[in-house]
Structure 1
């Protein structure tokens, strides 16, 4: 009897110790099963900034493999909804901006990250840059900010065609009407510069409530409908906009810091093209987030969270300076340009703008719309502004 009792107790002890060990590994982020494949969907282009950091993760964790696909923000929520209804989990990590984040929150597609997984991300909120921490608030605990940009709204123009860039929305409208079809911007639902322009106008026009697109943007909607009269069409994404702009068929476009620097660095837009800011403008900041769809097995979910924690480490954040695509890039504090690879430093020095530091320091910053308001604003733009002209 004593032997039996002792054996049972020893068995309980070992089982308990095993449970504690597993729990400790999970908290530390060391849940690494054999031959796990993490399927990543890139919605907003953040993969370009994070690819090297992911490669670093793979080198340390050779049993974890990755697949990468791209998807437009308007189409992904329906796909995720269908997968979840069917009990499938073919997408493990989504990288994207407020458009896909907001749509996913509205449809309850994302796993709650905080505070549920706080042990995997110790001090994450305190580690963010102040403005990035403000952007994190929009995630409603269902995502983590991974890169940050004080976006716009800015105007980019061909100096050979535009001798005096507009400094107010009224001047932009007058220029557009005097130069029909020479201004272009993309559908805001799938374009960071388009959204920055859309959300920045209420501040510039003195609308009643910049945070209420339905009841507080009377001046903005009237302005956009008027501007619509001299715009030929709205491309489905920013890349198409920059191609036409760079090729010379358009003379001006709305822009943000990253979409100004990166296309010039890549040669899509001529290096000598200029940037202009509206007088007394307010920055509408932008962020790319990491989101985990519901339905993942616990083992897979643990690996995905470990990848996310890796991407927020300062050494990996330094890689997000990249070629200026999401300038400056890092979302966390104490990651100066000097930590970035030499290639990134060279690109920023050659294609960056001296005025950005002054504007970022001296102009006010605002959060974008929250998820529900953004969905309403994008829907209203689609229905009332771009309905007949979006391609």
Structure 2
């Protein structure tokens, strides 16, 4: 819950910093420029580019890996070798037919419809997880299941634990923080609001983060209450093992993959804007520049997804630092720099706490991620 409060505070400081700058701030990079000049702008832009390319490549890698398996579950018989079960072919088709046209859109507001569809898919996912809680008995009884879960029939397996810590817990904080990472889109959305104001933007952020938190919380809670200690990191894998060929579960898997696919254009928008501001900030808007950078970014993320199999491990380490900078460090730092309030004021103290919290979380996550990666 503290992470959610921290996210809301960070969003508030971002919008507050844009107001304090007393200039036409339309992006995260603009804040870096007004706070620390050109170096600040370049650092923010570089951080956004690295973070978002890593996220988009990771999402496309998941689609390349999981989409053929999700489609094959609907098929009976041997269709191995078919083009529609080839991950790279499907990835190229999806990117050319869906991702590239959506990323060409000049304003982020145009992606509101695809975002609503993606959110609907996540709601469907949460509803199915809740309903399946009463479809799967505990303890799990099936020779097929015992093959995967190595379970006993003891009723102790069905008692929830309030706290459980392991070396994997090190990934919990950065994962939860990343799940709410949309700070790079906050200012573009703010600028595209009708009659933008801090109050209206706060209502948008409160609604968005509350709905996201509710979906994540219900999915995690009922997923755990279904499988308890045997729950997998990829929740739907458990349902596929216990309920093979269940049409609803198979449909949910496809919906989640399309939700990831529709998220890529949203992440693409800030990355393209960062590149535009780095190289073409002194030029008027040009469809040629816009299209070429969009095409180049799409080619880069597709190639990374197709030919760098350990891309998630590489960007997992990079993301542990870039994510916390974008989420916690930069919002607090920019507000401290731009605000003329006394340092002991509540807002400045809050910004300072957010800054320190981000530094601690980033270092902690980075250290444990590297430690676990080396051990593996």
Structure 1 and Structure 2 fold alike (TM over 0.5): no
Larger radius of gyration: 1
TM-score using structure 1 length: 0.24
Higher relative contact order (CA 8 A, sep 6+): 2
Structure 2-normalised TM-score? 0.25
More strand by share: 1
Say which structure is richer in helix: 2
